[in-house]
Amino acid sequence: MWHLAWRHVVYYRGQTLLLVAAIALAGYLPIATELLLRRLQHDLRSRADATPLVVGKLGSRTDLMLHALYFTAKAPGRIPFGTMETVTADGYARAIPLAAVHTAKRVSLVGTSLDYFEYRRLRVSSGRTFGRLGECVVGASVARRLGLSPGDSLLTDTESFVELTRYPLKLHVVGVLAAAGTPDDDAVFCDIKTVWVIEGIGHGHQDLGGVDEPGVVLERTENAVTAGAALKQYLEITPENEASFHFHGNMRDFPITAVILIPRDEKSETILLGRWHESDEFQVIEPDRVVELLLGTVFQIKHLLDLAAVFVAVSTGLLIALVVLLSLRLRAAEMATLFKLGCRRATTARLISAELLIVTGLSCAVLVVMLGTTWLVGPSLLRWWIVSGGV
Amino acid sequence: MTGAGETPDEPVVRLSDLRFAYPATSFRLQISHWEVARGRQVAVIGPSGSGKTTLLHLIAGILRPTAGVVGVEGRRLDELADRELRAFRARRIGMVFQDFQLLEYLDVRENILLPYYIGTDLRISGDVRRRADELAAAVGLGDRMRRNVTRLSQGERQRVALCRALITEPPLILADEPTGNLDPVNKRKIMALLQNHARRLGATLVVVTHDRDILSAMDRVVDFADWTAKVG
């Protein structure tokens, strides 16, 4: 019986594939949504739970949370580097700066301090952490995707063709992080000062001491030298030219996008929240609370998706029933032959049932493969979705 | 090849006071008495629409009579329950259909073995497979056992249908226009195969045909148009 059923299913493989695809997809949509949302919930919560407080520009709390946790480009705004000192002045917390507005090869470039690695328990699997201007450490996924290893380099992206004020900076890869299964796998890390160089706040150029070329030196006085457009600016920081790099202005005013605050204890956290709750310049958020609010919204939407999935499942079921009925009508001659040869009604019913079971089994197998793939690529997919502004 | 509770002298086919009508048609079939003895090879001839195929279907239990007796191998088919009737047909009757009625999703071997795939009491064994190979070889299909039947010629399909009818070694073989689509050479071959196998198995053969060329080889000919005269 199974042999006949299998032969029928294989012979009419086009119809079988359509049925299998319809059943698998009808099952996949709700289950995959459930799986991905559970994963999203888990990832968001675990990342948020590991990040007690975040300081950022006043604005959307969700944007700030996603920016600080997932390095999304959509930060509410910039705050001065001096904010770090302001919020930690009383010693209630230690602070880790973040400046994540640039990209390198379309990957988020995160300017921070070495404390970040220690705090996130990130381990360098090959090479070392950054120590000088222009050096970077890449996340495990980035290294795999772009084929990067210590000794390689990558250029930062300029935002547009018409952006003339910023040049790409060549970053030297000095280390690759071990996979952590977090957004850190999908980022490139460098010292915050390197970000300021990219911003144009800091720069390096040829020594003007003995240069008298008219296009390079416009004016030389006892106290200052005015350089012209012909001055050679460095687009790469090397041991030879590193000393020429310098910053203009007060470092307290240099921009960052967020600060991760790690309070000494719960009491310190409460004091910090209370103290900076009504600041006119910046906000202090608790990522876990923001995540809960966000998940509340997401799960409200999911209820609608669940309802839609029920309709899809019912309509698919009805369509499959219709297909089976029409198929039986088309197979009337075959059924008549079986009857004439002495096939019992129960045997005919078993034959049809066996075919349906095979189709269902194949659909389940396809569904398992699809769900397995989703489970494997899900975390990366979710991170990409969040970073690209899906949440 | 005798069935349980039957004697060698008992006719294999016995029709008595048989009446049959298709609903909502003027077609009527009436046979007062007809018997076919064991091992005989009988041809039933007659014009189109006279009821030849209906007669075969009544003998096979595919159709149930409106009234009267249909006996095959000592069993009253008209009294059997549907389940018993189907099982009886699968085991004791081999049928060759006019339009072959092969399953297009199966290959030659699988079509020959079909009664075993669907028969509740029939099991495919090594002997059965060997028999299928021998039958296929005998009809010249030994090298095409794995070929799908849709890729066969009409004559080849007819031979597959013939093998399927013989695979269970039934005591009664019913053939509906077995040479209908064949050229004269293949016609003779098919009839020879059918008759030789029937003789070897000791089976009774009832052939319904238009084809007067094959009548000379049969033991007895019944003209449907003049049924009462010939049979009565």
Mean pLDDT of A268-278: 81
In total, how many domains does chain A have? 2
CA distance B55 to B48: 13
pLDDT of residue A388: 66
Interface test with A, best of B105, B107, B121, B173 (most A CBs within 10 A): B105
> Do A65 and A186 fall within a single domain?
yes
Query: Lowest-confidence range among A220-234, A366-380, B106-120?
Result: A220-234
Query: What confidence category does residue A116 fall into, taking pLDDT thresholds of 50, 70 and 90?
Result: very high
Contact A7 B105 (CB under 8 A): yes
A384 vs B37, residue with greater confidence? B37
Read off φ and ψ for residue B110, nearest 5 degrees: -65, -35
Contact A174, A134 (CB under 8 A): no
pLDDT at residue A163 tops 60: no
B-chain residues near A345 (CB < 8 A):
82-83
Neighbours of B169 (CB within 10 A): 17
User: Considering only CA atoms, which of B84, B77, B82 is closest in space to residue B174?
Assistant: B77
Please enumerate residues of A whose Cβ is less than 8 A from a Cβ of B. Answer: 1, 3-4, 7-8, 10-12, 333-334, 336-345, 347, 351
The nearest CA of chain B is from the CA of A25 a distance in Å of 27
> Do A125 and A173 fall within a single domain?
yes
- Of the candidates B91, B101, B148, the beta carbon closest to that of A337 is on B101
Query: Lowest-confidence range among A272-286, A289-303, B102-116?
Result: A272-286
B-chain residues near A358 (CB < 8 A):
none
> Do A94 and A26 fall within a single domain?
no
Last residue of a domain, one of A258, A287, A316: A287
> Do A146 and A238 fall within a single domain?
yes
Give the contacts of A11 (CB within 8 A, at least 6 positions apart). Answer: B104, B105, B148
Mean pLDDT of A40-46: 86
Mean pLDDT of A64-81: 86
The nearest CA of chain B is from the CA of A320 a distance in Å of 21
Query: What confidence category does residue A219 fall into, taking pLDDT thresholds of 50, 70 and 90?
Result: confident
User: Considering only CA atoms, which of A231, A175, A228, A169 is closest in space to residue A197?
Assistant: A169
> Do A36 and A86 fall within a single domain?
no
pLDDT of residue B14: 92
Element (H, E) at B169: none
> Do A160 and A255 fall within a single domain?
yes
- Of the candidates A12, A333, A339, the beta carbon closest to that of B105 is on A12
> Do A214 and A337 fall within a single domain?
no
pLDDT of residue A101: 86
Contact A342 B86 (CB under 8 A): yes
Contact A341 B118 (CB under 8 A): yes
> Do A282 and A299 fall within a single domain?
no
Q: Tell me what the pLDDT averaged over chain A comes to.
A: 85
pLDDT of residue B1: 34
> Do A200 and A313 fall within a single domain?
no
Contact B104 A11 (CB under 8 A): yes
Query: What confidence category does residue A390 fall into, taking pLDDT thresholds of 50, 70 and 90?
Result: low
In B, minimum Cα distance to A337 occurs at B101
pLDDT of residue A240: 77
Within 148-207 of B, beta carbons closer than 8 Å to A belong to: 148, 164
Instruction: Give the 3-state DSSP-derived string for A157-220, with helices as H, strands as E and coil as C.
Output: CCCCCCCCCCCCCEEEEEEEECCCCCHHHHEEEEEHHHHHHHHCCEECECCCCCCCCCCCEEEE
Q: Is the ipTM of this complex over 0.90?
A: no
> Do A195 and A336 fall within a single domain?
no
Q: What percentage of chain A carries pLDDT values higher than 70?
A: 92
* Below-70 pLDDT ranges, chain B: 1-9, 120, 226-232
Interface test with B, best of A341, A348, A351, A358 (most B CBs within 10 A): A341
pLDDT at residue A178 tops 50: yes
Within 30-69 of B, beta carbons closer than 8 Å to A belong to: 60, 62
Q: Does B120 touch chain A (CB under 8 A)?
A: yes
User: Considering only CA atoms, which of B173, B164, B178 is closest in space to residue B99?
Assistant: B178
Last residue of a domain, one of A287, A314, A345: A287
A-chain residues near B118 (CB < 8 A):
1, 4, 338, 341-343, 347, 351
Q: Does B83 touch chain A (CB under 8 A)?
A: yes
Tens of pLDDT, residue by residue over B116-148, are 988 767 778 888 899 999 989 988 888 888 999
Q: Does B119 touch chain A (CB under 8 A)?
A: yes
> Do A147 and A213 fall within a single domain?
yes
In A, minimum Cα distance to B81 occurs at A344
Read off φ and ψ for residue A279, nearest 5 degrees: -70, 145
Q: Which residues span the domain enclosing A184?
A: 52-287
pLDDT of residue A120: 92
CA A309 to chain centre: 27
Give the contacts of A82 (CB within 8 A, at least 6 positions apart). Answer: A251, A252, A253
Tens of pLDDT, residue by residue over A304-340, are 888 888 888 888 889 888 888 888 888 899 999 999 8
pLDDT of residue B230: 43
Last residue of a domain, one of A287, A318, A343: A287
Q: Does B87 touch chain A (CB under 8 A)?
A: yes
pLDDT of residue B172: 94
> Do A302 and A283 fall within a single domain?
no
- Of the candidates B83, B87, B117, the beta carbon closest to that of A3 is on B117
pLDDT of residue B188: 82
pLDDT of residue B120: 67
pLDDT at residue A122 tops 90: yes
pLDDT of residue A387: 67
pLDDT of residue A197: 87
pLDDT of residue B2: 37
pLDDT at residue A187 tops 90: yes
B-chain residues near A339 (CB < 8 A):
62, 86
